[in-house]
Amino acid sequence: MAAVTGIGVATPPPVPQEALWDGYFRAHTGGGGVARRIFAGSGVRTRHTAVDPFTEDISGWSTARRMDRFAEQAPALATSALSDALAEAGRSPADLGLLVVVSCTGYSTPGLDIALAERLGLAADTQRLLVGHMGCYAAIPGLGTVSDFATARGLPAALVCVELTSLHVQPPTADPEQVVAHALFSDAAAAVVVEPGGQAGWDVPGWEVLDIAAHTDTDTQALMTWRITDLGFRMGLSARVPDALAGAVRPVVDKMLARHGADVDSVAGWAVHPGGPRVLDVVRTELGLPESAMAPSRKVLAEHGNCSSATVVLVLREIAARPGELVVAMAFGPGLTLYAAVLRRTG
């Protein structure tokens, strides 16, 4: 088995949700009562934005111009998150055998993986993998990839998720789907360092990666979309998403835990991607969990918003568990897709 031995997070400056509404989105959404209620009910108090909408309205920018800004701003954020994760793991960039970079909000070639290799001085033979446009759940298959690599090759590996959703604010609209996206999404980078068991040892604090599970229902793929347009990337987000995901939550979690002789009652913590308040409500109900189990996810939603793929790592960082206890991480995205992981606390 491999284990997460370091976690790092980096964000742009924070902005209060109320200030974003009053100073920009009230006018941007027509100021209607529906939009105001969506913002007030989002569960978000603070967000982090690489683009300051009070001084720079990019809603009319071309996609090319937005991608140029991503190439300017994402590398520094990613470098900070990965540097912190390496420091926590007691590793240097030269130790890494594989770097996996995840993003659905910006692309270029040479890409963010090359920028990180240059900034951190990665060895020339470090392998690289770029995971693009999978959406909010992408951190978990990324975690599975670096864990499998560490186990198979006996080398440390790193995962970095970098999302600048603020680059994709759409032109003024009162469309409820777009208002929901504008009320929830935020910017962050999150990184993990994963090491093989023989090197990491289980006497240090970390998270042993026991299993990864997935479920995709292609019949519901139209309910959540992330389409490239001439004016950035446009979110499609049906109000039916939480209900459509509900039927998969319990079977996926039960099957994954059963492979390890465990069940829902034996899980000490839940790192659930806060796609929105209703998503967390559905997970809590389907798994029969107390509201306290959702506290780490609601805290991240309140303090950071939905940072797409980086978010579940932010939630994992909030989980308190004793050595030997199990934690389930879970995230959702287009497909509709549910990804989950079961982790065991070490140290």
Which candidate, 176, 182, 187, places its Cα nearest to that of 10?
187
d(CA 273, CA 276): 9
The number of beta carbons lying within 10 Å of the beta carbon of residue 22 is: 12
The closest of 263, 241, 262, 197 to 336, measured between CA atoms, is: 241
Q: Report which residue type is found at 231.
A: L
Taking the C-alpha atoms of residue 8 and residue 6, their distance in angstroms, rounded to an integer, is 7
Nearest to 214 by CA among 343, 336, 344, 345: 336
> What is the Cα–Cα distance from 97 to 126, expressed in whole angstroms?
5
Residue 153: how many other CB atoms lie within 10 Å: 13
CB-CB neighbours of 226 under 10 Å: 20
DSSP bridge pairs for 191: 8, 160
Q: How far apart are CA 310 and CA 318, in angstroms?
A: 13
Largest Cα–Cα separation, the chain:
58
Q: Which residues participate in catalysis according to the annotation?
A: 136
Angle at 237 between CA 227 and CA 302, to 5 degrees: 115
Closest to 134 in 3D by CA, of 168, 102, 182: 102
How many degrees, rounded to 5, is the angle at CA 331 between CA 328 and CA 335?
140
State residue 103 phi and psi, 5-degree precision: -160, 145
Give me the helix-helix angle, 277-287 and 241-258, nearest 10°.
Answer: 40
What lies within 8 Å, CB to CB, of 145 at 6+ separation is 98, 100, 129, 131, 159
